[in-house]
Amino acid sequence: MSYNKKTVRDIDFSSPKRVLLRCDFNVPIENGEVTDDTRITASIPTIRYILEHGGSAVLCSHLGRPKGKVNPEFSLAPVAKVLSKLLGFDVPLATDVVGVSANALAVALKPGKAILLENLRFHAQEEANDPEFSKRLADLADVYVNDAFGAAHRAHASTAGVAAYLPAYCGLLIEKELAAIGGALTDPKRPFTAILGGSKVSDKLGVIENLVKIADNLLIGGGMAYTFIKAQGGSIGKSLLDADKLDYVAELLKNDANGKIHLPTDTVITAELKAGAATRTVPSGEIPDDEMGADIGAQTAAAYADIIANSGTVIWNGPMGVFEIEDFANGTKTVANAMAATQGFTIVGGGDSLAAVNKYGLAEKMNHNATGGGATLEFLEGKVLPGIACLLDR
């Protein structure tokens, strides 16, 4: 998959153009109000670029899982309200996606203005990537721009299907993702260090397989580390274990002739995962049967921080421990601080890792905070992302 795609900047706006802009407005809503507008705010630069260059924007997105049926609980009305505030003018919400309301609003749309379609997933044809539905979406505009990186790994009508009917470009948000993550995977400044945490090895199998070929260092932490330690013959007590992945991990370690894979040498353990519980630090392979690992130890955290400090590129996906509980947060906090301090290019991906850097006030010190959960993982796996592959190459 080529990462060198044409962007919204390549669209010729010398004559007015109506742009179908796929955004990621899948935001939390409570009592009819958006409680976190981060994803909406992230779309504003692309929207403004289109409007300021004389274009108009037909915005579309999914929200939640309405399962192909109209459900007022998943209406994008609260999103339209936030967009209106951010853009400084009323952004009308169509009462449908490809029906009478959407068509009427699109036809009446003036340069410099935007409308929002209702939830794409009110139609089962969206997730089915139905060609007729894709064509009806495409008929609303002259050109297509995808700026929803979080949905780029899905071959849906609005992320891939419409590209069969309209010239397809990426927005400024996806452009940043391609430059940052694509650049790290294809031409990283070395040493290239990947940090992988989280609960299960099975969740990161593809990522491990891809990155172990590319990276110079693979730092393992979180719950997934205990499967590696068990595969080495260590005792892990009641720690998380992917038992069916033990042979796979053992083979991976056996083939790691260059010593790229780094595992925790010490572990913070406890009998129960709760605030205030008794903790102590032991060698990683010496966890008693009635206790469990909850964080990498201070020795491991310091060693990982040293590797990060001397890296040219660092990608982090997954916490080092149960960081939501302060007693088990030191490893995650140490890694976050090391990334914030390094001179290397830093990329943070995955909801928990992003939550950690936000919690510690370090998000702005990272070079790139990825916006897609599943899309970021599949990107790191080296998979083809349908919502990217369909865009025009340079």
User: Is 136 marked active-site?
Assistant: no
Helix (H, G, I), strand (E, B) or coil at 139: coil
Residue with tokens 């044409």: 6
Q: In 296-335, which positions are buried (b, 16+ CB within 10 angstroms) versus exposed (e)?
A: bbeebbebbbebbeebbbbbbbbbbbbbebebbbbbbbbb
And the tokens for 305? 């921080």
The active-site residue, picked from 5, 39, 136, 230, is 39
User: Is 382 marked active-site?
Assistant: no
The active-site residue, picked from 64, 374, 382, 383, is 374
User: Is 374 marked active-site?
Assistant: yes
User: How far is the C-alpha of 366 from the C-alpha of 375, rounded, in Å?
Assistant: 19
Instruction: For residue 220, give the H/E element and its range.
Output: strand 217-220
And the tokens for 219? 């730092």
Q: Which of 344, 387, 351, 383 is nearest to 366 (CA)?
A: 344
The active-site residue, picked from 6, 48, 113, 200, is 200
User: Is 200 marked active-site?
Assistant: yes
The active-site residue, picked from 99, 182, 285, 351, is 351
Helix (H, G, I), strand (E, B) or coil at 55: coil
- Contacts (Cβ under 8 Å, ≥6 apart) of 79: 25, 27, 34, 40, 61, 63, 116
The set of catalytic residues is 39, 200, 351, 374
